[in-house]
Amino acid sequence: MTPQPPLELDAAAAPPKAHALRGLLARQGVSTWLALATILVFVAIAVLAPFVAPHDPLAQSYLRINALPSSEHWLGTDQFGRDVLSRLVHGARNSLVFGLVSPVIAAAVGTTLGVIAGYFGGPVDRVISRLIDLLLAFPELLLAIMIAAALGGGFWNVVFVIAVAFVPGFARVARASTLAVRQEAYIESAIAVGLRTPMIIWRHVLPNIAAPIVVLMTLWVASAIRLEASLSFLGIGTRPPNPSWGNIIRDGLGNIFGSPWPIIGAGFAITAVVLAFNVVGDALRDALDPDER
């Protein structure tokens, strides 16, 4: 009997997840890596804010009102003599926390509602769908303003407001994906062998609808940062004197001719982070798209 040569593992024979990961790393261009680097830099600044900021962001000095950029104050000071760079660094912590925590909560709640509606169907689906349609009737910013005006500012209130604004989108995506997965043969087989419904959802439904949920969550981190900045600019987000990129722009707007650096700095930070998360989200969507693979 002629011995068979050893099998060679190539890219085509590799596990799908490893193949997809290699494809993701190989296809991404310079813009994606720059966006990832930008996100990592801002996250590091937010985590190390007490050590990175050169001054106390709340300390006022009437002797340094509207000071020009210098070696002591790299971006100058505002109308209260507060160091602009220090406020931007500490504002990154608030803005990024809202941007990261709110979509995660919204994804958990929205995915749960969408999976329940898509899997069970019938009256349960109709009730949940009508509730989601009711929330979708309001634009995200308008819905957030309405809830924030009723609840007021504060950390958890703002997190709740942004999460509620994003729940309908996650619920719709999860419901549509669950309806498609529910018709697959492996779900029917799992039901036939007597697996309990929670186990079927946990082991078979959720892993197969995770890709669009993850992509949507990445894209909406940028939207959450922008929404929090809008709420803080309107005075119903992060409460002063705690810095946030939104209220830094709000404070600087009335003093734009005295010191434009708060608006320039906060505007640049918001633009850079939102653009970076959008680029990474688009790249992740392309990598997880089966047609692209």
Residue 255 has phi, psi (to 5 degrees) of -125, 30
State yes or no: pLDDT of 10 exceeds 50.
Answer: no
Q: What is the pLDDT of residue 27?
A: 59
21 lies in a domain? no
Q: What is the pTM of this model?
A: 0.81
DSSP secondary structure letter of residue 195: -
pLDDT for 7 beyond 50: no
DSSP-based three-state secondary structure for 278? helix
Count of residues in the chain: 293
**pLDDT over 50 (residue 37):** yes
3-class secondary-structure state, position 219 = helix
Inter-residue contact 78 to 251 (CB < 8 Å): yes
Q: What is the pLDDT of residues 173-199, one digit of tens each?
A: 999 999 999 888 888 888 888 889 889
Give me the pLDDT at residue 62, please: 85
Q: What is the mean pLDDT of residues 67-73?
A: 90
Establish if 80 belongs to a structural domain: yes
pLDDT band at residue 24 using 50, 70 and 90 as cut-offs = low
Which single residue is written with the structure tokens 């003599």? 81
Reported as a single tens digit per residue, the pLDDT across 220-263 is 999 999 998 998 898 888 888 889 999 999 989 888 888 899 99
In a domain, 39, yes or no: no
> Cα–Cα distance between 211 and 227 in angstroms, integer?
24
CA–CA separation, 161 vs 261, rounded Å? 30
Residues whose CB falls within 8 Å of the CB of residue 236, separated by 6 or more in sequence, listed in order? 145, 148, 149, 152, 153
83 strand-pairing partners:
77
> Whole domain around residue 241: which residue ranges?
54-59+72-288
User: Residue type at 30?
Assistant: V
Residue 224 falls inside a structural domain: yes
pLDDT of res. 292: 54
Encoded tokens for 39 = 């996100």
Structure tokens at 122: 């019938």
Whether the Cβ atoms of residue 168 and residue 107 lie closer than 8 Å to each other: no
* Residue 177 maps to a domain: yes
pLDDT of the residue at 289? 64
Query: Distance (Å, rounded) from C-alpha 249 to C-alpha 120?
Result: 47
Q: Is residue 1's pLDDT more than 50?
A: no
Mean pLDDT taken over the chain: 85
Task: Report the range of poorest mean pLDDT among 13-17, 116-120, 238-242.
Answer: 13-17
Asked, for residue 12, whether it belongs to a domain, the answer is: no
15 within some domain? no
Per-residue pLDDT at 101 exceeds 70: yes
State yes or no: pLDDT of 19 exceeds 80: no
What is the model's pLDDT at position 258? 86
pLDDT at 152 over 80: no
Integer Cα distance of 280 and 67 in angstroms: 37
- Note whether residue 269 is domain-resident: yes
What b/e sequence results for 102-118 when a residue is b if at least 16 CB atoms lie within 10 Å of its CB, and e otherwise? bbebbbebbbbbbbbbb
Is 12 a residue whose pLDDT tops 70? no
Q: How many domains does the chain have?
A: 1
* Burial classification of residue 55, based on how many CB atoms lie within 10 Å of its CB (0-12 exposed, 13-18 middle, 19 or more buried): middle
CATH value at residue 93: 1.10.3720.10
